[in-house]
């Protein structure tokens, strides 16, 4: 089984490469740009200078948190497509609390990160609970909760929880103590990047080496057998969704404290959706997801340079991302969704 997956993984990788360069080239030709110029602008924009490399890693980090969360849920057979909403609410909780409560750095930073993880976790737990208690389809529930999250954050940040010093749909600037330290001077790359990597390793260990991880995977891969073996499917659904949401929410918090230094309703260009592609390309394995996140991080940061330098609209990147998701929708892991 494992060997088969590895072969499939290779085939998928080939599909992704063909899509990125094939569709990318066609799109560039349509825009009257030579693919060589377009792709060199893209890669130059992603790697050309130290600052650009740092920015690529920032995008990698921003994708890594939701992608890891999505992988946990998918492995448990729960279709969390609500990472975007979980990330946004996590970001809001972090930004609001951080600006509201002054504290020294050693309290402020953990407080902000935990607030983000909690808010995302609660938002993820809601569809988990609805699934466990009422059998409500989590796909539709997370889809609806995505939109509700954006509206809720907009309402709170412009209404009851408005802060002085924030622009439209923004919280106030975080005090220095609540801002995550730079890893590379003069860049937006912070300690969030190593934190995401550590989490990926920890997650892999939990999934592969602990009883909890085993139960989670069993619930996803063979729900009937898992149920007969005494695994509480409702509980695993709830816990997997809560962890999944917490990871996405933590990602939102790191964007707020590390990158933007305040919450803005538009803080995510769809990290929660691109994260689905990252998780699928990464074969739902936390370590491969790190590699996949780097790949999509390159596309994200290089896409902006490609638009500026070679005048290829950066939507090409989203187009390719969408097609990659469609192409990889046939994954066996994902197909074994549980019906109870």
Partner 1 sequence: MNGWIGALLALAALTLIKATPLIYAALGGVLSERSGVVNIGLEGILIAGAFTAVIVSGATGSPVLGALAGVVAGALLAALLAYAATRLAVDQIVAGTGLNIAALAAAAFGLVLVYHQPGASHEVPALGQTGEDALIVLALVAAVGLHLALTRTPWGLRVRACGEDPSAAESAGIDALRTRFLAVVIGGAIAALGGVFLSLGELDLYSDGMTAGRGFIALAAVIFGRWTPLGATGAAIFFGFFAALQFSLQRAGVPSEVMQALPYVAALVALAGFAGRVRAPASDGVPYIRP
Q: Which listed residue (30, 198, 225, 229) binds partner 1 by CB under 8 A?
A: 30
Instruction: State yes or no: residue 284 binds partner 1 (CB under 8 A).
Output: no
In the window 187-206, what residues touch partner 1 (CB under 8 A)?
none
Of the pair 50, 155, the CB lying nearest partner 1 is at 155
Of the pair 56, 146, the CB lying nearest partner 1 is at 146
Instruction: State yes or no: residue 270 binds partner 1 (CB under 8 A).
Output: yes
List the structure tokens of 92: 């809001």
Q: Which listed residue (137, 208, 210, 340) binds partner 1 by CB under 8 A?
A: 137
CA distances from 335 to 63, 75, 76 (A): 23, 11, 12
In the window 40-99, what residues touch partner 1 (CB under 8 A)?
79, 81
Count the site residues for partner 1 by CB under 8 A: 50
Instruction: State yes or no: residue 277 binds partner 1 (CB under 8 A).
Output: yes
CB 27 → partner 1: shortest distance, Å?
7
Burial of 58 (0-12, 13-18, 19+ CB in 10 A): buried
Q: Which listed residue (1, 106, 134, 211) binds partner 1 by CB under 8 A?
A: 134
Of the pair 26, 202, the CB lying nearest partner 1 is at 26
Q: Which listed residue (151, 161, 162, 198) binds partner 1 by CB under 8 A?
A: 151
Cβ atoms of 281 and 295 closer than 8 Å: yes
Instruction: State yes or no: residue 143 binds partner 1 (CB under 8 A).
Output: yes
Instruction: State yes or no: residue 305 binds partner 1 (CB under 8 A).
Output: no
Q: Angle, nearest 10°, between helix axes 192-209 and 286-310?
A: 150
Instruction: State yes or no: residue 335 binds partner 1 (CB under 8 A).
Output: yes
Of the pair 227, 331, the CB lying nearest partner 1 is at 331
CB 175 → partner 1: shortest distance, Å?
28
Instruction: State yes or no: residue 18 binds partner 1 (CB under 8 A).
Output: no
Of the pair 159, 185, the CB lying nearest partner 1 is at 159
Instruction: State yes or no: residue 318 binds partner 1 (CB under 8 A).
Output: yes
CB 214 → partner 1: shortest distance, Å?
24
Q: Which listed residue (147, 198, 202, 229) binds partner 1 by CB under 8 A?
A: 147
Q: Footprint of partner 1 on this chain (CB under 8 A)?
A: 27, 30-31, 79, 81, 130, 133-137, 139-141, 143-145, 147-148, 151-152, 154-155, 159, 270, 273, 276-277, 280, 313, 315-319, 321-331, 334-335, 337, 339
């Amino acid at each position: 089984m494992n060997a088969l997956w590895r072969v499939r993984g290779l085939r998928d990788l080939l599909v992704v490469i063909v899509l990125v360069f094939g569709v990318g080239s066609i799109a560039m030709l349509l825009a009257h740009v030579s693919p060589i110029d377009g792709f060199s602008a893209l890669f130059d924009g992603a790697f050309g200078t130290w600052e650009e490399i740092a920015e690529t890693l920032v995008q990698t980090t921003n994708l890594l948190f939701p992608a890891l969360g999505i992988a946990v849920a998918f492995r448990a057979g729960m279709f969390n497509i609500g990472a975007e909403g979980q990330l946004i609410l996590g970001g809001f909780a972090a930004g609001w609390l951080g600006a509201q409560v002054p504290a020294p750095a050693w309290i402020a930073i953990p407080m902000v990160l935990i607030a983000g993880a909690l808010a995302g976790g609660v938002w993820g737990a809601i569809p988990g609970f609805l699934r466990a208690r009422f059998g409500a389809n989590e796909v539709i529930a997370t889809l609806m909760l995505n939109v509700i999250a954006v509206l809720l954050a907009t309402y709170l940040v412009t209404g009851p929880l408005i802060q002085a010093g924030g622009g439209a749909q923004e919280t106030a600037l975080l005090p220095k103590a609540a801002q995550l330290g730079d890893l590379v001077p003069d860049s937006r790359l912070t300690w969030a990047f190593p934190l995401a990597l550590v989490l990926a390793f920890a997650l892999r260990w939990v999934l592969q080496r602990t009883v909890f991880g085993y139960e989670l995977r069993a619930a996803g891969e063979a729900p009937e057998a898992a149920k007969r073996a005494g695994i509480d499917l409702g509980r695993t659904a709830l816990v997997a969704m809560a962890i999944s949401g917490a990871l996405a929410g933590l990602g939102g918090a790191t964007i707020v404290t590390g990158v933007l230094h305040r919450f803005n309703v538009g803080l995510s260009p769809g990290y929660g959706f691109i994260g689905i592609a990252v998780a699928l390309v990464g074969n739902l394995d936390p370590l491969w997801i790190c590699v996949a996140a780097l790949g999509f991080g390159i596309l994200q940061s290089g896409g902006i340079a490609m638009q500026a330098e070679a005048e290829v609209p950066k939507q090409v990147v989203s187009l390719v991302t969408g097609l990659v998701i469609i192409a990889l929708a046939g994954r066996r892991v994902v197909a074994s969704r549980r019906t109870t």
